[in-house]
Amino acid sequence: MSTPAPGAVLRGAVDLSSLRNRPADAPPAPSGSQPAGQAQASRLIFDVTDADFGQVLELSKTVPVVVDLWAEWCGPCKQLSPVLEKLITELAGRVVLAKVDVDANPQLAQSFRAQSIPLVVALVAGQPVQLFTGAVPEGQVREVLTQLLQLAAQHGVTGTIPLDGPPAEGEEEQPAALPPLHQAAFDAIEAGDYAAAATAYEQALSENPHDEDARAGLGQVHLLARVQHLDLTAARAAAASAPRDVQAQFDVADLDLAGGHVDDAFARLLDLFAELPGDERAPVRVRLLELFGVVGDADPRVIRARSRLASLLF
């Protein structure tokens, strides 16, 4: 099981952070009244779509979310699903299960690079964690979930979903609205207009230079804009054939970060920085600092990379 990767966003690669600011206190809830047992289960096990996946990202800041990518035609998926549902139910709200029909939700399938299913990943604090592929035995799934809880605790994600049914009508608290410029940026990201999203975040920063959410959002939008038309295979081939080509290395580092391979992205740029003459290093340092901001200054991978960068500078 890999370490969760910050800054992963849904458009263009496994980059989930474009939806990070959308307010959501609970997973998508089915409509209509339900018996108590079914209502309880719907809080722990629910279907999600391309359109409402932002709520799942927000939920993963409170409780680990296991994501099951499946399809109706997939026999192994039908073997694995009951196992996942049983074990998630046993954990009594400490983990939830989001089910993604890959045929109905091609954006999510592409984002998670679901080349074969069932594919099971997790989200911790909005960050993807690879779990396993295929219909694995119950004992192995149980062990993976135990490891996931340990990993979530290391990242401060230790909440529990209440199982006592939905609030009574009129008692449900409404999530706070996003600030207007943040909402404008989010709407632009949803429409695929990264230039407009960047403009909104830049305006938010001009009005409040200490708006860290806007600063992080701007870095993420820039990353999305850069990777949306890149081909991973071609980019890797170009970088391999020209180790000192700064743009070629930038392209692969961006794709790695967007795909959740944070350490790989940082190592590539730090290696490039070390190889270049002093008068050619500045753009690499600038790109590293931008990617540090996307991931988050408190992340241990950023701390390690900053330390190495400092050692190369002095």
Just list the catalytic residues: 74, 77
Residue 307 CA: distances (Å) to CA of 104, 232, 287, 292: 44, 29, 16, 12
The answer to whether the peptide bond before residue 118 is cis (omega within 30 degrees of 0) is: yes
Decide: 195 and 217 in contact? Cβ < 8 Å. no
Helix, strand or coil, per DSSP, at residue 47: strand
3-state secondary structure 226-293: HHCCCCHHHHHHHHHHCCCCHHHHHHHHHHHHHCCCHHHHHHHHHHHHHHCCHHHCHHHHHHHHHHHH
For residues 228 and 7, give the distance between their C-alpha atoms in angstroms, rounded to a whole number. 15
Instruction: Spell out the residues 6+ positions from residue 85 whose beta carbon is closer than 8 angstroms to its own.
Output: 45, 97
Give the span between the Cα atoms of 110 and 14, in whole angstroms. 8
Tokens of 92: 């009594």
Residues 276/278/281/286 CA torsion (nearest 10 deg): 160
- Rounded-to-integer distance, Cα 137 and Cα 147, Å: 16
DSSP 18: G
CA angle at 6 for the pair 67 and 95, rounded to the nearest 5°: 35
